[in-house]
């Protein structure tokens, strides 16, 4: 049975939420914080993860009405349909089973009546054995030398996920140097090539369709460069592919044994858990890759089995809807307080905006309410010296996720204490601000009394700006898997609530078609 088709704005819960919003829209986080148990009441703990959503413009009633909305649109049923492999990507006629890729349970998941778990396990074994051979140096290049560099050639979901994870897990990296080529801009590939030795480089061509213009163009350029030093008989030692399109891979000249599978039931932007993640396994080793999958699986189980009012992805999705659809906020910031996660905002831009940037509902009708949020961000503390001025004192309401870690990886405690002091201080400043009275006193005691009338309005922080603290013990492959899966489930939850199809991306097609036409005219 297909997903239900319910316009959220026509539900009883929406009407109640509208009334609740009209009555409470001026509530202030500072006032809400007068309740001593506020933090505790609006926090969820899940093993090594604590999500504190107390600094939001919400009351218990807001959450209960938002949960009512999730129930009224039958989110539970939609979650089960996704996990059970129903064709919920209706417009492309596909199941959506990235969750099956990380599942360790024996429970079968059927696609066309066939359990897909065995093929997932076979692919994982192939990834493990191949990664081990390359990392240990048993896999030799055409002159008998071990591999030193790995180049992932892909774009979109075939690039952003692996690139973000490899960057985020740098601390766990082995001796191999990993590069990512994505842009059709020839300068990108040229800059990478100049660092490479063909004798010791492994190229991983990642393309679900194996027709993507950028990827195929880059792969051809690299193959031609490679063939200047080697012969076509050397290709099997240096080129592997991850794809569903075996014929195109074969035409490219890649050996059958060097093809890693992809499946139509895995969407590009949710594919890092499949062989698309091969460059991750090559960079940090298979055990760390498996730990990433395990962390994601823990979040899957939490999402599937936890009541909505304690369910982290659901709560974060509902809060986002609260600001997007009631307060009219258009963007959300993702602000990791670790330099390792500097590529997370880019990755999430594809995951979130390609999924939920839709203007037509599941009925095919034009939508008259807001859907997908614009997501952006950067790492703390750098961004405090860049765009945070606007978030603190600008005219826009920008809810923000602050991602932090209790421990640093290198144990530089002085740095980490300062980092985390900033992490908490930013959220406090956003929520509680600084009043006129406080500014007045501050100027008075700093000896600037004469400047009070001139400076006071500029130094006031109105506060009441929402944030979520997403705090893990430590950045590990396991906790990273959990974090990424959290956002994946938030995306799906929002898509269900907005009554859209989150798993297609027809909006990227027209530009591609027109570019092809223009190219043919040249
Ligand atoms: O940008 C559109 C898109 O289809 C993404 O969804 C996908 O991740 C990317 O292109 C790459 O596609 P492929 O893996 O088929 O090369």
pLDDT digits (tens, 9 = 90+) for 106-145: 999 999 999 999 999 999 999 999 999 999 999 999 999 9
Contact 424, 431 (CB under 8 A): no
Residue with tokens 């030799």: 140
Q: What is the distance between the alpha carbons of residues 210 and 250, in angstroms, rounded to a whole number? A: 11
> Which residues 6+ apart lie within 8 Å of 437 measured at CB?
none
Does residue 468 surpass a pLDDT of 90? yes
The pLDDT value given to residue 106? 93
Exposure string of 78-99, with b = 16+ CB inside 10 Å and e = fewer, is bbebbbebbbbbeeeebbbbbb
Of 94, 156, 211, 242, the residue with max ligand 1 atoms within 8 A of its CB, to mutate for a pocket test, comes to 156
Residues of the chain with CATH 3.40.50.10490: 8-93+306-432+466-508, 110-288
Cβ of residue 311 lying under 6 Å from some atom of ligand 1 = no
Q: Which member of 298, 332, 354, 488 is catalytic?
A: 354
Q: What is the pLDDT of residues 17-39, one digit of tens each?
A: 999 999 999 999 999 999 999 99
Ligand 1 centroid to 158 CA: how many Å? 7
512 among known catalytic residues: yes
Q: Which atom of ligand 1 is nearest to the CA of 354?
A: 6
Closest CA to 104 of 273, 314, 243: 273
Q: Which atom of ligand 1 is nearest to the CA of 271?
A: 8
C-alpha 7: how far from chain center: 26
Cβ of residue 218 lying under 6 Å from some atom of ligand 1 = no
The pLDDT value given to residue 449? 85
Q: What is the distance between the alpha carbons of residues 453 and 477, in angstroms, rounded to a whole number? A: 53
Cβ of residue 152 lying under 6 Å from some atom of ligand 1 = no
Would you state the CATH architecture of domain 110-288?
A: 3-Layer(aba) Sandwich (3.40)
Q: What is the distance between the alpha carbons of residues 494 and 445, in angstroms, rounded to a whole number? A: 49
Q: What is the pLDDT of residues 427-444, one digit of tens each?
A: 999 999 999 999 999 999
> Which residues 6+ apart lie within 8 Å of 354 measured at CB?
156, 269, 505, 507, 508
Q: Tell me, what's the ipTM?
A: 0.97
Ligand 1 centroid to 43 CA: how many Å? 37
For the chain, give the mean pLDDT: 97
DSSP code for 50: E
The pLDDT value given to residue 452? 93
**In the structure encoding, which two tokens stand for residue 404, read together?**
């932090």
**In the structure encoding, which two tokens stand for residue 241, read together?**
């592919």
Does residue 14 surpass a pLDDT of 80? yes
Of 98, 154, 155, 252, the residue with max ligand 1 atoms within 8 A of its CB, to mutate for a pocket test, comes to 155
Of 92, 158, 219, the residue with max ligand 1 atoms within 8 A of its CB, to mutate for a pocket test, comes to 158
> Which residues 6+ apart lie within 8 Å of 272 measured at CB?
157, 161, 162, 165, 280, 484
Ligand 1 centroid to 214 CA: how many Å? 10
DSSP 82-144: HHTT---BGGGTB---HHHHH--S----EETTEE-HHHHHHHHHHHHHHHHHHHHT-SB-TTS
Q: What is the distance between the alpha carbons of residues 487 and 341, in angstroms, rounded to a whole number? A: 14
Ligand 1 centroid to 88 CA: how many Å? 19
Mean pLDDT of 265-274: 97
Cβ of residue 345 lying under 6 Å from some atom of ligand 1 = no
Cβ of residue 201 lying under 6 Å from some atom of ligand 1 = no
Contact 269, 156 (CB under 8 A): yes
Cβ of residue 505 lying under 6 Å from some atom of ligand 1 = yes
Nearest CA to ligand 1 atom 13: 207
Nearest CA to ligand 1 atom 4: 268
Q: What is the pLDDT of residues 481-516, one digit of tens each?
A: 999 999 999 999 999 999 999 999 999 999 999 999
Ligand 1 centroid to 448 CA: how many Å? 58
Residue with tokens 């740098």: 170
Q: What is the distance between the alpha carbons of residues 368 and 320, in angstroms, rounded to a whole number? A: 18
Mean pLDDT of 411-434: 97
Contact 230, 238 (CB under 8 A): yes
Q: Which member of 385, 509, 513, 517 is catalytic?
A: 385
C-alpha 257: how far from chain center: 31
Four-CA torsion 46, 52, 57, 58, nearest 10 degrees: 40
Cβ of residue 198 lying under 6 Å from some atom of ligand 1 = no
Mean pLDDT of 261-284: 97
Exposure string of 313-324, with b = 16+ CB inside 10 Å and e = fewer, is bbbbbbbbbbbb
Cβ of residue 212 lying under 6 Å from some atom of ligand 1 = yes
Cβ of residue 141 lying under 6 Å from some atom of ligand 1 = no
Does residue 2 surpass a pLDDT of 90? no
Ligand 1 centroid to 225 CA: how many Å? 25
Task: Write phi, then psi, for 483 (nearest 5 degrees).
Answer: -65, -45
Confidence bin at 1 (pLDDT 50/70/90): low
The pLDDT value given to residue 447? 87
Q: What's 439-495 look like in SS3?
A: HHHHHHHCCCHHHHHHHHHHHCECCCCCEEEEEECCCCHHHHHHHHHHHHHHHHHHH
Cβ of residue 507 lying under 6 Å from some atom of ligand 1 = no
Cβ of residue 157 lying under 6 Å from some atom of ligand 1 = yes
> Which residues 6+ apart lie within 8 Å of 1 measured at CB?
81, 86
DSSP code for 6: -
Q: Which atom of ligand 1 is nearest to the CA of 267?
A: 6
175 among known catalytic residues: no
Q: What is the distance between the alpha carbons of residues 241 and 252, in angstroms, rounded to a whole number? A: 10
Angle made by CA atoms 44, 46, 52, in degrees to the nearest 5: 30
Closest CA to 501 of 361, 318, 325, 350: 361
Closest CA to 271 of 244, 299, 298: 244
What does R_g of the chain's alpha carbons equal in angstroms? 25
Ligand 1 centroid to 101 CA: how many Å? 19
Q: What is the pLDDT of residues 151-180, one digit of tens each?
A: 999 999 999 999 999 999 999 999 999 999
Ligand 1 centroid to 516 CA: how many Å? 16
Long-range Cβ contacts of 307-310 (<8 Å, 24+ apart): 308/67, 308/70, 308/71, 308/75, 309/63, 309/64, 309/67, 310/44
Residue with tokens 């945070």: 388
Cβ of residue 155 lying under 6 Å from some atom of ligand 1 = yes
**Does the domain formed by 8-93+306-432+466-508 have CATH 3.40.50.10490?**
yes
Closest CA to 202 of 167, 172, 242, 168: 242
**In the structure encoding, which two tokens stand for residue 491, read together?**
């995306």
Closest CA to 242 of 351, 153, 163: 153
Cβ of residue 350 lying under 6 Å from some atom of ligand 1 = no
Q: What is the pLDDT of residues 220-253, one digit of tens each?
A: 999 999 999 999 999 999 999 999 999 999 999 9
- Among residues of the chain, what percentage have pLDDT more than 70? 100
**In the structure encoding, which two tokens stand for residue 153, read together?**
């050639």
The SS3 assignment for 403 reads strand
Q: What is the distance between the alpha carbons of residues 207 and 185, in angstroms, rounded to a whole number? A: 18
Nearest CA to ligand 1 atom 16: 207
């Amino acid at each position: 049975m297909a997903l239900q088709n319910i316009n959220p704005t026509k539900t009883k819960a929406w009407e109640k939420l509208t009334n609740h919003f009209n009555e409470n829209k001026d509530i202030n986080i500072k006032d809400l914080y007068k309740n001593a148990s506020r933090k505790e009441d609006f926090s969820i703990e899940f093993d090594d993860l604590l999500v504190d959503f107390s600094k939001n413009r919400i009351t218990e009633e807001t959450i209960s009405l938002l949960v009512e909305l999730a129930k009224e649109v039958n989110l539970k049923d939609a979650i089960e349909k996704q996990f059970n492999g129903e064709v919920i990507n209706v417009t492309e006629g596909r199941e959506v089973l990235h969750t099956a890729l990380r599942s360790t349970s024996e429970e079968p998941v059927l696609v066309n009546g066939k359990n897909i778990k065995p093929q997932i396990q076979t692919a994982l074994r192939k990834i493990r054995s191949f990664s081990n051979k390359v990392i240990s140096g048993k896999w030799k290049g055409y002159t008998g030398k071990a591999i030193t560099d790995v180049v992932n050639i892909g774009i979109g979901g075939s690039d952003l996920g692996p690139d973000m994870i490899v960057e985020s897990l740098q601390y766990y990296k082995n001796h191999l140097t990993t590069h990512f080529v994505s842009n059709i801009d020839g300068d990108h590939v040229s800059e990478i090539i100049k660092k490479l030795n063909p004798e010791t480089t492994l190229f991983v061509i990642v393309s679900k369709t194996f027709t993507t213009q950028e990827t195929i163009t880059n792969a051809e350029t690299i193959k031609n460069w490679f063939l200047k030093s080697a012969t076509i008989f050397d290709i099997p030692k240096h080129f592997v592919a991850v794809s569903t399109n075996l014929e195109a891979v074969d035409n490219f000249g890649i050996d059958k044994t060097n093809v890693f599978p992809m499946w139509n039931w895995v969407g590009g932007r949710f594919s890092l858990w499949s062989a698309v993640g091969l460059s991750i396994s090559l960079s940090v080793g298979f055990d760390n890759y498996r730990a990433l999958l395990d962390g994601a699986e823990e979040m899957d189980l939490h999402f599937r089995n936890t009541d909505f009012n304690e369910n982290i992805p659901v709560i974060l999705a509902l809060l986002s809807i609260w600001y997007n659809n009631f307060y009219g906020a258009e963007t959300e910031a993702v602000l990791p307080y670790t330099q390792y996660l500097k590529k997370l905002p880019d990755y999430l831009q594809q995951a979130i905006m390609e999924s939920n940037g839709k203007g037509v509902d599941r009925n095919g009708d034009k939508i008259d309410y807001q859907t997908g949020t614009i997501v952006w961000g950067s790492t703390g503390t750098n961004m405090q010296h860049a765009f945070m001025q606007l978030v603190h004192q600008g005219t826009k309401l920008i809810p923000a996720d602050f991602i932090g870690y209790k421990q640093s990886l290198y144990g530089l405690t002085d740095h980490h204490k300062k980092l985390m002091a900033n992490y908490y201080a930013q959220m406090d400043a956003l929520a509680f601000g600084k009043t006129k009275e406080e500014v007045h006193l501050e100027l008075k005691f700093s000896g600037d009394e004469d400047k009070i009338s001139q400076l006071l309005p500029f130094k006031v922080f109105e506060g009441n700006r929402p944030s979520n603290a997403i705090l893990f013990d430590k950045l590990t492959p396991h906790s990273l898997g959990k974090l990424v899966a959290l956002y994946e489930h938030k995306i799906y939850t929002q898509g269900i609530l907005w009554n859209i199809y989150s798993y297609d991306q027809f909006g990227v097609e027209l530009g591609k078609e027109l570019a092809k036409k223009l190219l043919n005219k040249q």
